[in-house]
A = this chain, B = another copy of it.
Amino acid sequence: MNDVVSPSRLASALTDYWSPRVIGEVDDAYIKVAKVKGTLAWHSHEHEDELFLVLSGRLRIEMEDRTVEIGQGEMFIVPKGVRHNPVADEECEIMLIERKSTLHTGDVVIEGTRSVEEQLRAN
């Protein structure tokens, strides 16, 4: 992974929604990209913050006390322990920063849950 990469190009190449791909690691955190549309699941990460950076499109993050809209080039950090539900009305490409220990659907396991091994695939 030790090379210059374009998160946007790597995200564009993804074919499945909500199936993150690891594109780098910074100490105990993974840098991931994902292509998303629709919604995944309400979940939380008890011990880990999660950063969403929108590469293209628009992402809404519903939380119990408020909702935020993240436009292209903008970022938002969901604090640890906060239940959230990411929603993309239209196709959206995102970059994520998550601790290596983070399960991307947090405290819930659903059909769409992807293991870290799947996220480490080459493409």
A residues near B (Cβ < 8 Å) are 1-8, 24-29, 31, 48-51, 53, 68-71, 73-77, 79-80, 97, 99
- A31 near B73 with CB under 8 A, answer no
Is B26 in contact with A75, judged by CB distance below 8 angstroms? no
By Cβ-Cβ distance, the 8 closest A-B pairs, closest first, are: A26-B49, A4-B76, A6-B74, A26-B51, A24-B77, A27-B49, A4-B68, A26-B97
The smallest beta-carbon distance between A16 and chain B, in angstroms, is 22
Are A69 and B4 interface neighbours, CB within 8 A? yes
Residue of chain B at shortest CB distance from A82: B2
User: Chain B residue with minimal CB distance to A23?
Assistant: B75
> Which residue of the partner chain B has the closest CB to A96?
B26
Collect the chain B residues with CB atoms within 8 Å of residue A28's CB: 28
Residues of B within 8 A of A29 (CB): 26-27, 29, 97
